[in-house]
Amino acid sequence: MREPNLRRMVALVGTALAFGVVAALIKGHGTGVRDTIGNLSTPWLLVALAAGLHTRSVPRGAVLGLAATVTALLGFYLAVAVTTDDQLPTLGEHLEHVLRVNRRWLYSGLLSGPVLGGFGAWVRQHARHVATATAAIVGALLAAEPLVIVAARLVPGWRQVVHWTLDPGPYLAEAVLGVVILLVIWRRYRVARLTGSGC
């Protein structure tokens, strides 16, 4: 895979922006399944990972992951600011308010974006079979998020962050999907070992 050129970079940022906007529209402003889907963390991690997979350079992957994550977050909160009613007189003030209220997630993105982007580049550089390695990472992230959510609630102070007004259904579906992906990869790996072919 060639290093990303300007056109590919614009497409990458545009895709991240579109993801953020669509995620906000799916989430909506109520509770229940839509709210839970909008609060899933794994898709946000995958935005950065996918960006990093466009390069073999870990530092460049970190930058791409950060750029994609920040763009997606800004798209998300811009859509939130546009679609919610507020007493503030201008869209700019409303957006500023939304960003301030949700700053913990912006700060989280400043960490997760470079880490996952750099990791994506590392996988692109070192994995023998990039597609299989990427699928395994996706499966692991999907399966792990519900476990992390439950574990986080045991940490003092995090019960207010990880709140169970969320519907457990999407988390269970996410975990099942992750486990299925991992099982399929494991089965293919075993078959490849038995037949002596590549995975």
Tell me the per-residue pLDDT of 68-90, one tens digit each, with 9 for 90 and over.
Answer: 999 999 999 888 888 876 666 67
pTM, to two decimals: 0.84
The dihedral of CA 88, 26, 139, 169: what is its sign?
A: positive
Structure tokens at 32: 């229940």
| HEC sequence for the chain | CCCCCHHHHHHHHHHHHHHHHHHHHHHCCCCEHHHHHHCCCHHHHHHHHHHHCCCCCHHHHHHHHHHHHHHHHHHHHHHHHHHCCCCCCCHHHHHHHHHHHCHHHHHHHHHHHHHHHHHHHHHHHHCCCHHHHHHHHHHHHHHHHHHHHHHHCCCCCCCCCCCCCECHHHHHHHHHHHHHHHHHHHHHHHHHHHHCCCC
Tell me the per-residue pLDDT of 125-181, one tens digit each, with 9 for 90 and over.
Answer: 999 999 999 999 999 999 999 888 877 777 776 666 555 556 788 889 999 999 999
Tell me the per-residue pLDDT of 34-43, one tens digit each, with 9 for 90 and over.
Answer: 888 888 899 9
- A 10 A CB-CB count for 84 gives 12
The dihedral of CA 23, 131, 188, 140: what is its sign?
A: negative
Residue 30: pLDDT band (50, 70, 90) is: confident
